[in-house]
Amino acid sequence: MGTDAMTTDTTAPTAPAGPAGIDLGALEAEAARIRAEAERQLAAVTDLSALDAVRNELLSKKGLVSGLVKMIGTLDAAARPHAGKVINTLRDGVEALYTARRDTLSAAALDASLKAAAVDISMPGRRTLPGRPHPIRQTQAELVSIFSRLGYTFREYRDVETEFHNFDSLQQPDWHPARDMHDTYYVSPAAGAAYPLDQGQYKFNLLRTHTTAFELQAMAARGGQGTNPLREVTTGRCYRRDAVDARHSAVFHQFEGLAITEDASFAELKWVLLQASKQLFGPRTQIRLRPSYFPFTTPSAEVDCTCPSCHGKGCRTCSQTGWLEILGCGMTRPEIVELGGYDSTKFRGFAFGMGVERIAMLVWDLDDIRMLYENDVAFLSQF
């Protein structure tokens, strides 16, 4: 449209100018038309980028107003000053229209972007909760730390074990009644070639039912021909097909220790466990050992410690007995010491194991094991 107006109006008056009044009138009419056109177009624009395009069409060197300037050359010299004024007025007017429209649209755009980025200062902020180790992790770390001060190294072992490491090497062949206590998750048939056949047919991989499964591996890793003394602890998940209740879970954690030295004795075992109990439950703690049975130790004992809540007087935590059962232990059977590559006439061993959940529940006086697994942040944030 702009181009039409420009070409007609700049090429038509090439004929000799008529009376000045007539041409001046045509120019004024054209100026008024452009002004109206500018008003219409600017009003129709709704965003800033389109506004610039319209401005170019009106005011650039090739725009409508500049087209009008070229008409001046066709006018009488006397008419030109007036024509100049008309065009200047037009240009100033269009410029002012443009500026006003630009200000309106800018304000609207600013308004919209503020609304889009609106901040509701009444909303509660987002809090970043600091992480911390789970109480079971804390208990494991505490136990590892206590036993490292007593001279024990720490290593983790795999959750999926061979039947050999979990049972057979620990003197529980598959006819052994002690296996009944471990309701086991079997995973897959084991590759029999992994172990010498004279150590039995190791038919399955399984989820370890106790961390005691580490014993033979710890001895084997201890270098060569069984001449290096060994004091090692481990901890990790164990699995049994237990129904979940306040005291049982199908997945639980054990902490386990093994010492193989030339002078390991039941007296040393008791001393180690007493020191550990004192560090865990407080310096007034005492322990007592009761005869017990485990397939992999002889003699074997259950260990009780004085109740940390009542120091032996009797309370709800200890069912009024003053004592709490905390772990099992015993002297490692010589067959296992031999299987681990040591000469059982020179080396003796002892072992001990405990439930991490049980220790955690005693340390923090919890009465339901399930609280440790429910991931209730309100509960966990207390530790």
**Among the listed residues 147, 363, 128, 345, the one whose alpha carbon sits nearest the alpha carbon of residue 255:** 147
Question: Among 5, 150, 178, 310, which residue sits at the site for Zn ion (rule: CB under 5 A)?
Answer: 310
Unique residue bearing structure tokens 């490491």:
165
CA atoms of 74 and 89, how far apart (whole Å): 20
Stretch that binds Zn ion, among 82-90, 107-115, 272-280, 314-322 (CB under 5 A): 314-322
Encode burial over 303-318: b for 16+ CB neighbours within 10 A, e otherwise. bbbbbbbeebeeeebb
CB of 292 to Zn ion, least distance (A): 22
- Closest CB 118 distance from Zn ion, rounded Å: 59
Give least dist CB 280 to Zn ion, A. Answer: 15
Between 170 and 307, whose beta carbon lies closer to Zn ion?
307
Beta carbon of residue 308, minimum distance to Zn ion (angstroms, whole number): 8
Q: How far is the CB of 245 from Zn ion (least distance, A)?
A: 22
307 near Zn ion (CB under 5 A): yes
Among the listed residues 315, 363, 366, 380, the single contact to Zn ion using CB under 5 A = 315
CB 296 within 8 A of CB 212: yes
Residue pair 17/23 in contact by the 8 Å Cβ criterion: yes
Residue 76 or 302 having the CB closest to Zn ion: 302
DSSP output for 319-371? TTSSEEEEEEEEEEPHHHHHHTT--TTT-EEEEEEEEHHHHHHHHHT-S-GGG
Rank residues 52 and 368 by Cβ distance to Zn ion and give the closer one: 368
Reduced to 3 states (helix: H, G, I; strand: E, B; else coil), residue 265 is coil
User: Smallest distance from the beta carbon of 315 to Zn ion, in angstroms?
Assistant: 3
CA 231-278-217 angle, to 5 degrees, is 20
> Which one of 44-52, 184-192, 305-313, 362-370 is the stretch in contact with Zn ion (CB under 5 A)?
305-313
Is the CB of 124 or the CB of 283 nearer to Zn ion?
283
* Residues whose CB is less than 8 angstroms from the CB of residue 177 and which lie 6 or more positions away in sequence, other chains included: none
Residue 317 binding Zn ion, by CB under 5 A:
yes
Closest CA to 336 of 353, 350, 316: 350
Cβ proximity to Zn ion, 10 vs 317, nearer residue: 317
**In the complex, least distance from residue 323 CB atom to Zn ion, rounded to whole angstroms:** 8
Which one among 10, 138, 228, 309 touches Zn ion, defined by CB under 5 A?
A: 309
CB of 373 to Zn ion, least distance (A): 25
Closest approach, Cβ 355 to Zn ion, in A, equals: 19
Closest CA to 107 of 39, 47, 38, 40: 47
Nearest residue (CB) to Zn ion, 254 versus 306: 306
Helix axes 266-281, 356-364, angle to 10 degrees: 40
- Using the rule CB under 5 A, which residue among 24, 65, 318, 369 binds Zn ion? 318
Paired sense of beta strands 153-154 and 230-239, if any: parallel
Output the smallest distance, CB 229 to Zn ion, in A: 38
150 vs 315, which CB is nearer to Zn ion?
A: 315
Q: 101-140: which residues touch Zn ion (CB under 5 A)?
A: none
Q: Which is nearer to Zn ion, 138 or 309 (CB)?
A: 309
CB closer to Zn ion out of 252 and 323: 323
Does the protein bind Zn ion through residue 286 (CB under 5 A)? no
Q: Environment class of residue 67 by beta-carbon count within 10 Å: exposed (0-12), middle (13-18) or buried (19+)?
A: buried
E-strand stretches of 54-139: none
**Contact call for residue 363 and Zn ion (CB under 5 A):** no
Structure tokens at 147: 């036993």
User: What residue number has its CB nearest to Zn ion?
Assistant: 307
Under the binding rule (CB under 5 A), the answer on residue 10 touching Zn ion is no
- Residues binding Zn ion: what is the number (CB under 5 A)? 6
d(CA 246, CA 230): 37
d(CA 192, CA 200): 9
Q: Contact residues for Zn ion (CB under 5 A)?
A: 307, 309-310, 315, 317-318
